[in-house]
Amino acid sequence: MQLARELLDESIAPGVPVNAVEDLRSYATHALKTDSGLGESRNAVGKAAAAIKPGITAGSHAYVVLQEHVRRHDAAYPDDWAEEFERGRAADIEGAARRVAAHILDAGYHRSSLHTWITNLRKRPDVCTVPDFLRGAAERLARPERGYAFCVPVTNEPPFTIDAATAPGWLTSTAAAAWKKRHAPDAVAVRHQGGFLLEIAARDVNSAADRARTRIANLQTKFNVGSRGAIQIAPWMWSKDKATAFATHTTNRTLDVRSFERLGLLPDLRMPDYITGALALLQPVRTGAAHIAIMSGWSAIESHLVGPDDADIVAAERFSLIVAASMPRGELTRLAHAYIRENDDALADELRGCPDNLSRARRFQRRLCSGEPLVMGRPTGLRSPGSSRSSRTPQPRSARPRPSSAKSSCASTASAMR
């Protein structure tokens, strides 16, 4: 459903290129028509998406129809998936997991909270089936956002007088220390000269902390450019609701550039100018505000993928090929390692002997494309209705290729990996 919402937003946004709306419409239409979570309405929703044209207005019939479909199915989406599982219809398990997880995340839940939630459920497989989880998700998503409070300490004295009249929300050093002692006594302590309070509405405390970090990043810029004496934010903020500390700057974005190490260039103290420029653009990606990280990261990508005579969208086209190759490559690598852990046969020995993950993924891919039987899987944490605790996880689709489709699918993956 997030694709339908994005199509609605982009179709009426000024300045969006026509081909961008058309590409999004084509992808959203296909995704909606194949979404089992929409039940018998998926074809109707797909047709509504196909009717969206570039330059449409918010009052247009096609726009209102798709908007109503989104409103109607949004709250019922997890329940509809629960009914699909209870009916026992054949489904793409990985695709279902991706769609449901995307729906929960798009509703405002943080990925860490979702991971903790599912991990806790996996510890109780006897009392929670997949439909139980989905209906629990629907119940959670129906609840309104709640408020979360954070105290953000500053490490130097602000260049203004802190009082309720002229600086609402600010705390003196004494008041900030008293706030911590009352609400988060065991949280990590930091030296400070006062602080300020943030009230954030969110689905869970991790999402609230993320939104607080965005506010802090914007305030930090204001503090730096708005006064001769810049206000320095401490590395930790204290949560009233969890009685613990959260980082004030984003730290959990994954950004790994291992090419320097693989090519033996990590010790080099001199770098070409284009590499230096790209690394400078990458600096805000890990810890900067989301909008700054996106702009800087994309600028770094364009600096490597676009030449002086290239067209506007060539960076997106070239980068999409890299992403298309990396996704199956990553999944094949994980499957290969899982096979090594769970099996002791000739294929497992051969996979262990591969010099790197790329060759290991290629070898596992050749086995998948061969059509030979491949047994792998572990007991799953969440049970489907009627299954026993000792049942094994179904093999991935790619582990049971049909002779006709497997060759074309594996050929396209091999082409992308090359």
Among 41-45, 336-340, 376-380, which stretch is predicted with the lowest mean pLDDT?
A: 376-380
Structural domain contains residue 235: yes
Q: What pLDDT score does 304 carry? A: 80
Among 129-138, 302-311, 392-401, which stretch is predicted with the lowest mean pLDDT?
A: 392-401
283 and 228: one domain?
no
11 and 108: one domain?
yes
Structural domain contains residue 153: yes
Cα dihedral value 376, 379, 384, 389, nearest 10: 140
Both structure tokens of 412: 């396209």
243 and 350: one domain?
no
263 and 222: one domain?
no
DSSP result, 383-407: BPTT--TTPBPPPPGGGS--HHHHH
The percentage of the chain sitting over the pLDDT mark of 90, rounded to a whole number, equals: 32
Domain's final residue, options 227, 247, 267: 247
Q: Which domain holds residue 273?
A: 259-305
319 and 389: one domain?
yes
Structural domain contains residue 286: yes
Each residue of 330-368: pLDDT tens digit? 889 999 999 999 888 899 999 999 998 889 999 999 999
Q: What pLDDT score does 378 carry? A: 52
Contact 134/81 with Cβ under 8 angstroms? yes
- Taking the CB of residue 353, how many other CB atoms lie within 10 A of it? 10
Structural domain contains residue 196: yes
| Rounded CA separation 363/403 (Å) | 18
Each residue of 396-416: pLDDT tens digit? 333 333 333 333 344 444 444
The pTM of the whole model exceeds 0.85: no
Among 17-26, 103-112, 161-170, 378-387, which stretch is predicted with the lowest mean pLDDT?
A: 378-387
331 and 367: one domain?
yes
Residue 391, pLDDT above cutoff 60: no
Q: What pLDDT score does 394 carry? A: 37
Structural domain contains residue 253: no
166 and 213: one domain?
yes
Domain's final residue, options 92, 120, 142: 142
Contact 52/3 with Cβ under 8 angstroms? no
- To the nearest whole number, what is the mean pLDDT of the chain? 82
Contact 237/150 with Cβ under 8 angstroms? yes
336 and 287: one domain?
no
Mean predicted confidence (pLDDT) in 117-126: 80
- Taking the CB of residue 364, how many other CB atoms lie within 10 A of it? 27
Give 266's pLDDT tier (boundaries 50, 70, 90).
confident
Structural domain contains residue 351: yes
Residue 154, pLDDT above cutoff 80: yes
268 and 324: one domain?
no
Q: Write down the residue that tokens 């203004």 correspond to.
A: 160
234 and 266: one domain?
no
| Rounded CA separation 116/110 (Å) | 10
Residue 175, pLDDT above cutoff 60: yes
Alpha-carbon distance values, 219 to 154, 179, 212 (Å): 12, 21, 10
Each residue of 60-86: pLDDT tens digit? 999 999 999 988 888 888 888 888 888
- As for how many domains the chain has, the answer is 4
DSSP result, 32-70: HHT-GGGGGGHHHHHHHHHT--TT--TTSHHHHHHHHHH
- Which of 134, 136, 79, 132 minimizes the C-alpha distance to 385? 132
199 and 180: one domain?
yes
Structural domain contains residue 202: yes
Residue 388, pLDDT above cutoff 70: no
Among 40-49, 229-238, 292-301, 370-379, which stretch is predicted with the lowest mean pLDDT?
A: 370-379
60 and 136: one domain?
yes
Q: What pLDDT score does 251 carry? A: 65
Structural domain contains residue 361: yes
Give 161's pLDDT tier (boundaries 50, 70, 90).
confident
Of residues 203 and 391, more confidently modeled: 203
